[in-house]
Structures are given as C-alpha cells and as structure tokens.
Structure 1
C-alpha cells in the first residue's frame, strides 16, 4: 500500500468516526425553546405539581402522557391551569410552550 492510499484510508476512517460520534449526540431541541416563565394567576409550587397535574389530567384517556407533560410544564412554568381542559390564559408560559410542530406542549 502506498502512502497516499494509506492516508486516504485513514481519512475515510476519520470521517466515519466523526459521523458516528455526531449521530450519537442528538438532542431534543424543544428543551432549547422553553418559554420564559411569565406572569401567572394560577401559580403552583413545584412541590405540588404532582397533585395539580393529577387534577388536570383526571378526565383524559391518555393519562400517562398527560401527567408526564403536565409535570414537566409545571416544574418549568411553576403553574398549572385550573380544571381539566383549556383555561391556559392564566399561565403564559404553560400556554405558549410549543412543540417543534407548533402544537401545545402542555396539556
């Protein structure tokens, strides 16, 4: 093998290694797009997120997903809207946090 072909093989191996390492470092970009914690008229201390989300998700048929996202939103926004649906205007952070597809992240 000539020195040029050895160099070419090493270069290809390096490119493959870089691609593999970059592929393993994917992350959820939605966490970078968290809205700032804004004004709220329905505050919830983070220690009470679980009970507030139990109430919020009590009427849904997708309870596990609802609880997961509600608790994530509550811990970040420090509020949960009253009732089981809608009424998000009392918490701008909870209302404005969207997925990459533009749909509401918080139930």
Structure 2
C-alpha cells in the first residue's frame, strides 16, 4: 500500500517536471532561442565583403551557415563565436568555411 502511494507520487512529480520543461522549451523558442534561423544571405555578404573570390566565399559561407545556423562576426577570424562553423573541413582537412 505504501509502495503504491510512493509510486503514484513519483509519477505525479515526474509529470509536473516534464510539463515545466516543455513550457520552458516553448517559451525559449518564442524568444528566438533554439529554433530561430539567422539571415544567412546577409551574414555571408558581411563575412565575404573583403574576399578576393566573393562567389566562392558566398557559396562556402552559405553552406556552412545552413548547417550551423551561425556565422562569425567580421570579415575574418572570430571562429570562437561559432564552433560548428569553425569545425567544418574539406576532404583535404582544410577549413571549409571562410
């Protein structure tokens, strides 16, 4: 009898915690947290503005942005701001993203 009451109490607490987590995820999505997409076109125009090969830069940046949903600020460097962007490499082991 005591075991069944403890089991029911545990289930109710678990459902309450699950409900709170789901509400938090929905709230953060509305604020632009997890699901917000960035404007890859605009971000890549800024990133590739000083490139000697702008078409190649835009193509590579667009691919990386679509995969990572981020582009580091500035025209070069700042890879620490977007780790996914920095980690993508070509088959030869060089950085894929400008």
Establish whether TM, by shorter chain, passes 0.5. Answer: yes
Residue in structure 1 matched with residue 45 of structure 2 by the alignment: 54
Gaps of 5+ in 1: 1-43
Rounded Cα–Cα distance in structure 2 between residues aligned with 1:75 and 1:54: 14
Q: C-alpha displacement at 1:60, in angstroms? A: 0.6
4+ residue segments displaced more than 2 Å: none
How many pairs does the alignment contain?
Answer: 63
Alignment correspondent of 1:103: 94
- Equivalents in 1 of 2:81, 2:69: separation in Å? 12
TM-score between the two structures when normalised by the length of structure 2: 0.62
**Corresponding residue of 1:71:** 62
CA RMSD across the alignment: 1.2
